[in-house]
Each structure stands twice: as structure tokens, then as C-alpha cells.
Amino acid sequence: MQSDSVYDGIYGLAIGDAIGVPAEFKTRSELSQNPITDMTGFGTHYQKPGTWSDDTSLSLCLLDSLSSGLNYLDIMDKFRSWEELGMYTPYGKLFDIGMSTDEAIDRYIRDVPILQCGGTDEYNNGNGSLMRILPLAFFIEAKHITYGQAMEITSDISSLTHAHQRSKMACCIYVTIALELLEGKTLKEALDNGLVKTKNMMEGKPESSHFHRLFNADFPHTPEKEINSSGYVIDTLEASLWCLYNTSSYKECILKAVNLGDDTDTTAAVAGGLAGLFYKRNGIPEAWINRLANRALIDTICANFIKTTISPE
């Protein structure tokens, strides 16, 4: 893995997040009348252009924690410092948090065992662990962790906030595709290989049925009207991978993701992390990079992870 991959993925995620923030909760119909075509601001959350949300903040928490090794308590400490102190945010203040994540942090504060903090209910299958799982792929690749162990760790890190089997499986699919990209596969190869690999791993497990559409070879040809983009983890995973399959540049992918509507920032962040890995940072519009909020924080955390975790090549 090249050290630049960390910047590629994190910038890809953060910029997708930032472009989606002003349009969050707008319907597809609304956006079809007035589509997002650039990085804007002062929309849903009334934030300045380039402002990223909890998707990026929690990803930075995880990346920063992994710089010191794998420590679930430390990850949750960083999540707590984000919620309570505004750390890992663009401007020192939190403005968006998912209910399941909030509840999990509260359980952690009340000394619930670390891997029991995440909700296990059917309704705890929002996209809150999927949106922040990308940094783990960098750690797995750098530490040469076996695939089986990597999937166990992925499930555990999802469980910190989202412990339902469906959310854990979604994270495993995403991390597997990211690992394929880090090995140098083309985007289509990474998507195809990652889905086949996780389909085989999940075969026979009860929750695997929820991924049947994604595991179908015809999934990339699904009509847009049949792609949902809500905050439900299956919808987010399907929508983001569908955008990756059906576009040919970082910019096209992100704008397609945002204009699907609804949970725009997370769909674009999840798609953007993988798009960044494939198209690289120099494939992201320079104007978007230049407008991204608090780049200094992002660069510092990325640089520290590279220094402590990725051996010189």
C-alpha cells in the first residue's frame, strides 16, 4: 500500500461528505429540479461550503486511534471527545450525530462492556458504522492482517456503535472492496471481487439474504428509480456501490450520489472513500480540495497514521 492511499481515501470521503451536507434530507425529486453541481454551502445545516459532518469526524477519530494500534477503548474515548468536546470537527463544534451512535457513546460512559455498546435491535441498522469504517482498511493492509481476522475486527469496530449482524456485514463488504483497491485492482475488479468474496463468506448466514440484490451480478444495471438512498445501512451500501459502478470519474460519482437525495452526505462519503482510492487525490477537482474545511486537521491525522503505521517502502 502506498502512503498516498490514506490521503486519497480520506479526502475522497471528506469531500463527498462536504458536498452532500447542504443537500441532506432533500428528496430526489427536489434535486432533479435543482441538482447539486458543485461544492456549495448554507443548505440543510446552514454550514459554510466545504464543511464536513459526523461521517468524516468519526472516520478521523478511528484513523487517529489506529495510529497507536488497535484499542477499542481508545476509539470510543475519541468518539466521546468528538461528541462532548467538539474534537475532530471542522470548527470545534458538533452539528450532526446519529441516534444509534449517540446511544452507544452514552452506554460507554455508563461502563457498559465495550463490545456491547452498539445497539443490536433491528432499528439499529442505520449507516453510522459503515460511514466511518474506511480507515480500518488502511490498518489491515499495513499490518498484513489475515482476511478472516480482518473481518472479525471489522465486525467488532462496527459493534462499538452498531452491533446488529446486518450492519457488521455491510462494513465487511465495504472493507473488503477497499482492500481490493489497495491491492491495485481496477474499480470494477475491486467491486466484483469484493462482492463475490463476501458473498462466499456470508453464505448460509441468516442476515445474508438482505444483501441478495447487491450480490446479484445484474446489480450494476439496476434502474436508478429502484435505488434507495435513505440512512438504512443496506440502502447506503447499495446506493454508493451503484454510483461507483455507473460513473467514470470522482466528480461524476459524487454528484450522482448526492443527487440521489435523502441521506446525501453519507451516500457521497461512502462512495467517495472508495472513489478516492481509485481515482486518487489528483482525480478530485482541485477547487473542491481547496475549499475543504480544516484541511490542516485532516492532513495532520493522515500524516501521523502514515508515520506510525505504514512502514517505509
| Residue 7, pLDDT above cutoff 90 | yes
| Residue 294, pLDDT above cutoff 90 | yes
CA distances from 296 to 91, 138, 167, 272, 289 (A): 12, 20, 32, 20, 12
What pairs with residue 119 in β-bridges? 162
- Spatial contact of 213 and 222, defined as CB atoms under 8 Å apart: yes
**pLDDT digits 0-9 by tens, 39-96:** 998 878 788 999 999 999 999 999 999 999 999 999 999 999 999 999 999 999 998 8
- Tell me, yes or no, if the pTM score tops 0.85: yes
- Please name which of 63, 187, 194 lies closest in space to residue 136, comparing C-alpha atoms: 63
Minimum mean pLDDT among 25-29, 38-42, 71-75, 173-177: which range? 38-42
| Residue 14, pLDDT above cutoff 70 | yes
- Please name which of 186, 102, 92, 172 lies closest in space to residue 140, comparing C-alpha atoms: 172
Confidence band (pLDDT; 50, 70, 90) for 16?
Answer: very high
Q: What is the CA radius of gyration of the chain?
A: 17
- Residue 267 buriedness (CB in 10 A; 0-12 / 13-18 / 19+): buried
Query: What would the grid cell of residue 119 be?
Result: 445497539
Q: How far apart are CA 226 and CA 89, in angstroms?
A: 34
Yes or no: domain 4-309 corresponds to CATH 1.10.4080.10: yes
Q: How far apart are CA 208 and CA 173, in angstroms?
A: 11
Confidence band (pLDDT; 50, 70, 90) for 311?
Answer: low
- Spatial contact of 198 and 174, defined as CB atoms under 8 Å apart: no
High-pLDDT (> 70) share of the chain, %: 99
- Spatial contact of 27 and 288, defined as CB atoms under 8 Å apart: no
| Residue 159, pLDDT above cutoff 60 | yes
